[in-house]
Chain A
């Protein structure tokens, strides 16, 4: 997520909003986003309802066997349609902002909306 903060201006200049979602409560998100100087919102899904809705639950992988989200990235266009998905097979390997920018730019060039 640090890499997305670093490239945030490039994403925002294309009109893309970046949003994080995890099971952390808002207080933890506030602390972390202040500490790490994140300027995009971190949303809180402590019961993992939205995480389940997107089928990105990692059951029992959190502290004391709680359910958390697995890493996953979805690029959604302004109509609410999913345009790019990244479901990693390795927790340590996350999407890079360059991949998102490339996917977005290729679609723009391809004559999307």
Chain B
């Protein structure tokens, strides 16, 4: 008798892989980036389907295929999931403590740096110039955003 196609293994594997590789997409939106619940949800659904597929393959091997490739796919999915969790819950949290950073009500350290057009810009300039030519609001402060860079 020809054995049946064990679809939960294939679908589960694809969903789990999509869960890891869609990180770049979901990271574009703060609601799915601050905590990557969408990726973890896909990983969870994918793993559950793989488990269902494996139960079929090992429980009723005369009816369903997938003992060997099901095990391989599940191992790959689990490895990818473990790598993802390591990155998300460990690597991304390795941030220096910055205990010497200026605090609220302290003076902001002065600086002069070149902008994207190589004009020298100082903090004093930024604090005294209006926020934009389009806006009539008077200069009311500066938001400094330190970022890792594009490289």
Spell out A's residues near B (CB within 8 Å): 1-4, 9, 11-24, 26, 28-30, 32-33, 39, 41-45, 49-51, 53-59, 61-63, 68-85, 87-96, 100, 104
Nearest to B132 among chain A residues (CB) is: A12
Decide if B30 touches A76 in the complex (CB within 8 Å): no
Q: Is the CB of B101 within 8 A of A80?
A: no
Q: Say yes or no: is B63 at the interface (Cβ < 8 Å to chain A).
A: no
- Residues of B at under 8 Å CB distance from A? 27-28, 30, 33-34, 36, 88, 92-96, 98-111, 113-118, 121, 123-124, 126-132, 134-135, 137-151
Which residues of chain A are within 8 angstroms of B135 by Cβ–Cβ distance?
Answer: 9, 12-13, 15
Dominant secondary structure at the A interface: mixed
Inter-subunit contact B137/A100 (CB<8 Å): no
Please state if B147 and A76 are interface contacts (CB–CB under 8 Å): no
Q: Tell me which residues across on chain B come within 8 A of A58, comparing CB atoms.
A: 95-96, 148
Given contacts A19-B126, A85-B104, 15 further A-B contacts (CB under 8 A): A15-B137, A15-B140, A15-B141, A17-B142, A18-B143, A19-B142, A20-B145, A28-B151, A69-B148, A72-B145, A76-B127, A80-B127, A91-B93, A92-B27, A93-B33
The residue on A at minimum CB distance from B31 is: A96
Interchain CA distance A17-B141 in the complex, whole Å: 6
